[in-house]
Structure 1
């Protein structure tokens, strides 16, 4: 059952919502303190675009603000996310370590491909000791196009992957699999949308389901 499994991070391995509201509230409180925002934190609007690269997030949430302000907000938000991770306010989804252990025992290679920023991903991997199982973690920051399909392609090229799957909760993960000739496995978790999941080859409700699903996949 030798396979290469490429996992998304937010909404797939890491329960981002545990620190999302905290960090976003902190960020917009910061904006309010600078008289750059005067209403409530747009948490619902952010949830709608969850999984998009952060530059695109700030373009959506702060369409009338300058690039300088967006870059400042991006930096501050990252600081708050990392601090909340280090303080133990986040959480992995159920059975992440269990399925990683199972996959490694069955000769599978594990990678992470995320729209999250490098420092953010490092904080999660370090806090939860994921590098015990994960070969390498890749950030969208490493790709000029900010395209998940291109990020997955870079992993495939680096590790000469010919067979495997992309596991994630959003359409960008499903398309990244399809665009690169891999199997797509949709995660029906917090931020997932039914219309997007319907385009995946398989859909799971818990990561532990990969134990029975993977032997039936021909990548």
Structure 2
């Protein structure tokens, strides 16, 4: 059994905000071009729900569309996101690489994300996160599409008995509570204080995570 640190990806390690608008605009332009959407792209709606499973995203953004159209829209969106990543239009948050490096010297690091596998792999490859992250897990692997269950799966597969869950949304904090992990919330782009107020710790800069992990006892 081991102590580990599990990270969310979007809005925690990766600045999804830098590529989100372009990818979503491309997707809804495709819908408009096919007579399936009129009006502006619902970017603000997506910002509010960022972090929920993708099936919920498309049910929310396209409430009157068929499941087939939603799936096609998501596929178009995923391709657009990956293209933006490969073009170098995204970025990690300040201090992520150095902090991951230092943390990995003491703990195994994992990712638990609501993002799709191909999208996560594009980020992992672009920023060579495998230097520090032992394995990246997608919600695709969990039938329930529940992040609490994804984190539970990671802990079982990796023989993790305690540690930290780090993220920016309610699903991350709930996953920590469900799995008896210490929660650290990052108050970045998509974070909402109403969702993260129950975290054990809240940080405004990524490097502050290192100080908490190194100096605070688990189970605070």
TM-score range, shorter chain: over 0.9
The residue that corresponds to 1:101 in the other structure is 101
Using the TM superposition, give the Cα deviation of residue 197 of structure 1 relative to its aligned residue in structure 2, in angstroms. 1.6
> In the TM superposition, what is the alpha-carbon distance from 1:5 to its structure 2 partner?
0.5
In the other structure, the counterpart of 2:28 is: 28
Q: Distance in 2 between matches of 1:140 and 1:154?
A: 10
Secondary structure of the residue that 1:162 maps to in structure 2? strand
Match of 2:121 in 1: 122
Question: Is 1:179 matched up with 2:160?
Answer: no
Aligned to 1:92: 92
Q: Deviations over 1:94-146 (max 9, x none)?
A: 111110111122x2110000000000000000000001100000000000000
Distance 2:11 2:85 in 1: 15
**Aligned residues between the structures:** 217
Alignment partner of 1:140 is 2:144: no
CA distance in 2, matches of 1:76, 1:217: 45
Structure 1 stretches of at least 4 aligned residues deviating more than 4 Å after TM superposition: none
Whether the aligned pair in 1 keeps the contact of 2:184 and 2:209 (CA below 8 Å) is no
Cα displacement string for residues 147-176 of structure 1 (whole angstroms, at most 9, x for unaligned residues): 000000000000110120100000100000
- Counterpart-to-counterpart distance in 1, 2:163 and 2:16: 25
2:200 counterpart residue number: 201
Question: Post-superposition shift, 1:40?
Answer: 0.4
Hey, what does 2:153 align to over in structure 1?
Answer: 154
Distance 2:61 2:96 in 1: 31
| Gapped regions of structure 1 (runs ≥ 5) | none
Verify the 8 A CA contact 1:183 1:217 in the aligned structure 2: no
Q: Measured at CA, do residues 6 and 121 of structure 1 come closer, stay the same or move farther in structure 2, by a change above 3 Å?
A: same
Q: Is contact 1:117-1:140 (8 Å) kept? A: yes
TM-score (norm 2): 0.97
